[in-house]
Chains A and B, each alone.
Chain A
Amino acid sequence: MKQLTILFVCGAGLGSSFACQMSAEDVLETLGVKARLDHSDISSAVSMQPDIIMTGQNFQSQFEKFAIDEAKTSLIYLKNIVSKAEIEEKIVPVLIQKGILND
């Protein structure tokens, strides 16, 4: 079983993606899920092929233009990228689908 990788993305890959990563870290800890987390800018994100990409809603249209294989990489868009409630609500179904969490 390869470890789950989650990539957090924003324009420069510096501030807000990092803030999102720190919030998600807390969420994953309460869920008891171990994962490798990293953050990057949108230009680099395309080539990284993580299991999950989390980013702000404002990047949705751009990600739809990229050729990202959704079977391999699930995309999650957030309105408030540091809201633990929103992160949890959106990540749990994906984790269940990937067989990492049980219903």
Chain B
Amino acid sequence: MIVVDFIIKNILTQASITIALIAMLGLILQRKSLGQVLSGSLKTLLGFQVLSAGSSIIVGSLIYFGKIFTQGFKMQGIIPSIESINGQAMNELGLGREIALTFLAIFVFNILIARFTRWKYIFLTGQAILWMATMTTIFGYFAGLRGLVLVLVSGFIGAVFAVAMPAIAQPLVRKITGSDDIALGHFCTIGYLFEALIAKLFGEKGENKKSTEDLHLPTQFEFLQDTYLSLMVVMVPLYLITAFFAGATFSTRLAGETNYLMFAFLQSIQFVVGVYVLLAGVRLLLGEIVPAFRGIAMRLVPDAKPALDCPVLFPYAPNAVIVGFITTTLGSILAMFVLPKFGLAMILPGMLTNFFAGGTAGIFGNAVGGRRGAIIGGVAHGFFITLLPALLVTIFNQMGFVNATATDVDTVVAALLYAWIIGPILKAV
């Protein structure tokens, strides 16, 4: 009994161990050598711990930012960050193991759905599955589900999204890539379709459609494709201006010996450090799991289409990506000021999402409604992807997550589905 007790208390409650065991299972199923099984599992374990470390760095920087923002602008500004929600869920709610198992369950259900239905999509964007698992698990937990039921229900809902999102985007992805052999696996798809719809209504039509790709954008914009560089370019002024508005007295109290503006500058870089570390962790974590999943899935579902991360589409319309990033950022800044007027929270632009989701949405807008479609659709997209997280803030606050919200709209929709539909049904039963 002591042994079993030890296993339950010390091994299965550690999310990093759970996820390493999942990777181990995948490697064993592929009949890898003992050395490969061990090194792969250890790399996954390391990746998970690096991810958590990055998440703490981000949270530390955001706590500082939250203080100066509240002081400077007399309102609550929230930087949406699924990473910090993931960190809080693991550390404070102790849901790490459930999230890791839900992650596995989404994979398994995804293969089953692809195997037995017409929708042959295998979702291979690991980090997106992890964020989806985070959201469905947290919301399932607050709807009162526990243990195995929680993992199965959250996993099933996540898997339905993992198949449905690539499926609804496919007609447009076909149009963009000119082929049917890849699909889009990224949980911002509802936003892309929203942009496509706006582009259809307000964009250029038929003969008059001019593509963004015939534009000559200034080459100075190209650095924006470098994720960490473009993050710094936005975060540095954001922190500096906020610290300035918070005033020297207040900011100096937080900065201690360092000059308060220098401190704000370093904290903004610290935020990017957090993102960098977190993504390095994700890279290590997924390095073994995704190929294993792909190998198993392709064997069980031979005619499957891989649903891949959004930058796969970037080479097809690089200008549309830049246009999409800029217009989405404009839309999200607009929403930042407008939403509080309607009693909603003030959501600061989440730059990572603005770039990846905004860029991809720009490609959709351009494909449907040309330049005008990409521009008008982009601003509307920025507004849309700020509105949904704002709706989630109140729900998160009730759960005890202080001023937190997530970004990727499909995961937000999954959460709202739980909060507005599944939760009330469960409570009624």
A residues near B (Cβ < 8 Å) are 10-16, 18-19, 22, 25, 39, 41-43, 56-59, 61-62, 78-83
Contacts and interface: CB of A to CB of B under 8 A. Distances in A.
Interface in B214-263: 219, 222-223, 225-229
Nearest to A56: B315
The interface residues of chain B, by DSSP majority, are classed as helix
Nearest to A84: B181
Given A15-B308, A16-B309, A22-B291, A61 B314 contact: no
Contacts of B179: 80
A19 B312 contact: yes
A62 B228 contact: no
B279 A19 contact: no
Counting from the closest, the 5 A-B pairs by CB-CB distance are A15-B309, A58-B318, A16-B311, A56-B315, A12-B227
A11 B308 contact: no
24 contacts: A11-B225, A11-B227, A11-B311, A12-B279, A13-B283, A14-B127, A15-B125, A15-B311, A18-B286, A22-B291, A25-B291, A41-B227, A41-B279, A42-B225, A43-B228, A43-B229, A56-B311, A58-B314, A61-B219, A62-B226, A79-B315, A80-B312, A80-B315, A81-B312
Contacts of B356: 12
B113 to A, nearest CB: 21
A65 B312 CA distance: 23
The interface residues of chain A, by DSSP majority, are classed as mixed
B290 A18 contact: yes
Nearest to A11: B227
A57 B314 CA distance: 9
B321 interface: yes
Most buried by B among A16, A58, A61, A83: A58
Contacts of B306: 19, 82
B56 interface: no
A96 B222 CA distance: 32
A58 B229 contact: no
